Amino acid sequence: MTSDGLRLLPFRGLRYAPDRVSSLTAVTSPPYDVVVRPDGVRELETADPYNIVRLILPHSPDPATRHRQAADTLHRWRAEGILTTDERPALYVYEQRGGEVLQRGLIGALRLDGPVLPHEDVIPEVVEDRAALMRAAAANFEPLLLSYRGQGAATGAGAVIERTVQAAPLLATTTEDGFAHRLWAVSDPADLAAIDADLARREALIADGHHRWATYQRLYEQQPDATPASPWASGLVLLVDTARYPLQVRAIHRVLPHLPLTKALTGVSGAFRVRRLPGDLSGALKTLDETPGTAFVLAGGPDDFHLLDRPDPALLDRTVRTDRPEAWRRLDATVLHSVLLDEVWRIPDRPSDIGYLHHTEAAVAQAARLGGTAVLMRATSEDTVRQLAQCGVTMPRKSTSFGPKPATGLVMRTLDVGEK
């Protein structure tokens, strides 16, 4: 097969031995970039001594020590039988169910030379850190979330998935967020061939995991003798047909720890219309969702919300790039970064100056604790994201949060010599 379509390769999954841990729930974790608070890491670590967070977010002020620590921990857990490798290479059907949400997809090792569309920029320092961790451990600890558009019917890969979920799963667990997770292995040659033929006609959109995808590419480029057959030429992903199982899309909020709300509001005077919003967070978010055009909510605490909308057209013309499609120019994230962060507030684009949080309550609480400002955002539709990605246009990083995200720790992939 050529790189004209997607190529999802079977691999021998590395999984927790159920009889060696307190429960699968206790050893799983959200993706590394969602576990952002130190207390969140500590909570996961105390849930079980073998929680996956010890591999994806090891402790040490020194990066090299941190990465070596993860590699040593992985080696020890494998030697002790805490983690065991499945006997046969397989693709894995993965199901998540919570309330009215049902998501099913395929976990496998996706070839890096296929048509995969990014829609966000990445932070080089984060890519380098993730690359150092994966290089030291020779493992992919957590799958990216990728979407593709199939036929919306149970044919090809979809038919294999629907047939597979009728059997007993390899594992089943419910995480603390209320989502039920189930996993099945697909190793039948006919099923694998049907999946391969279907995906050969598809292209994928990175829904969640731009930094990890860039990390996979970086690691492959750094291998002195890497070939298309090398395990480094592919990376662990969850591939979901969103014509059949639409993803949820949520916003990612910004926290500006060094910009007090009073200073933020003074800076935007004349550039945007500013209105103080009465009431609580839910009311502020409702007003934001109902506001046409560009809009943000600035928050300094749980009872201090201000709506920004109607930006000055002359300011937009002067600060927003004109060599991009109109849909990109109208994005809230574009206006936030081009106008507010770069021009009005002049906030450096550094992790120490801009925090990215997925949960509104956490963003508001962090802004209040640090004496800074939370910028609450609205979600962008998947269709808009895909349209821009197909034009080769990237959105400002951390513009969207697709979900539900796969739980980390249910199945991993090693890149040892001889492992596939």
Per-residue pLDDT in tens (0 to 9) along the chain, 420 residues = 345 899 999 999 999 999 999 999 999 988 877 664 545 566 666 678 999 999 998 888 888 999 999 999 999 999 999 999 999 999 999 999 998 999 999 999 999 999 999 988 888 888 999 999 999 999 999 999 999 998 777 789 999 999 999 999 999 999 988 999 999 999 999 999 999 999 999 999 999 899 999 999 999 999 887 788 899 999 999 999 999 999 988 899 999 999 999 999 999 999 999 999 998 999 999 999 999 999 999 999 999 999 999 999 999 999 999 999 998 999 999 999 999 999 999 999 888 999 999 899 999 999 999 999 999 999 988 888 888 988 888 888 788 888 899 999 999 999 975 444
Residue 274 three-state SS: strand
How many residues in total does the chain contain? 420
Helix 124-137, helix 210-222: angle, nearest 10? 60
CA dihedral of residues 408, 140, 103, 52 (deg, nearest 10): -10
pLDDT for 232 equals: 95
Q: Per the structure block, which two tokens stand in for 92?
A: 């894995």
Annotate 83-98 with b (16+ C-beta within 10 A) or e (fewer): beebeebbbbbbbbbe
Locus of tokens 């009311």: 283
Q: Model pTM greater than 0.85? A: no
Locus of tokens 């039988």: 81
Enumerate residues 6+ apart whose C-beta is below 8 A from 207: 145, 146, 147, 240, 247, 382, 400, 402
pLDDT for 169 equals: 97
Backbone angles phi, psi at 373, to 5 degrees: -130, 135
Let me know if domain 8-247+404-414 sits in CATH 3.40.50.2020.
no
Q: Where are the beta strands (DSSP E) in 63-196?
A: 83-85, 91-98, 101-111, 116-117, 139-140, 144-148, 171-174, 180-186
Helix 157-164, helix 189-199: angle, nearest 10? 140
Domain ranges, ordered by start, for the chain: 8-247+404-414, 252-378
pLDDT for 283 equals: 96
Q: H or E segment at 316?
A: helix 313-319
CB 147 within 8 A of CB 249: no
Q: H or E segment at 129?
A: helix 124-137
pLDDT for 46 equals: 67
Peptide bond into 246 cis (omega under 30): no
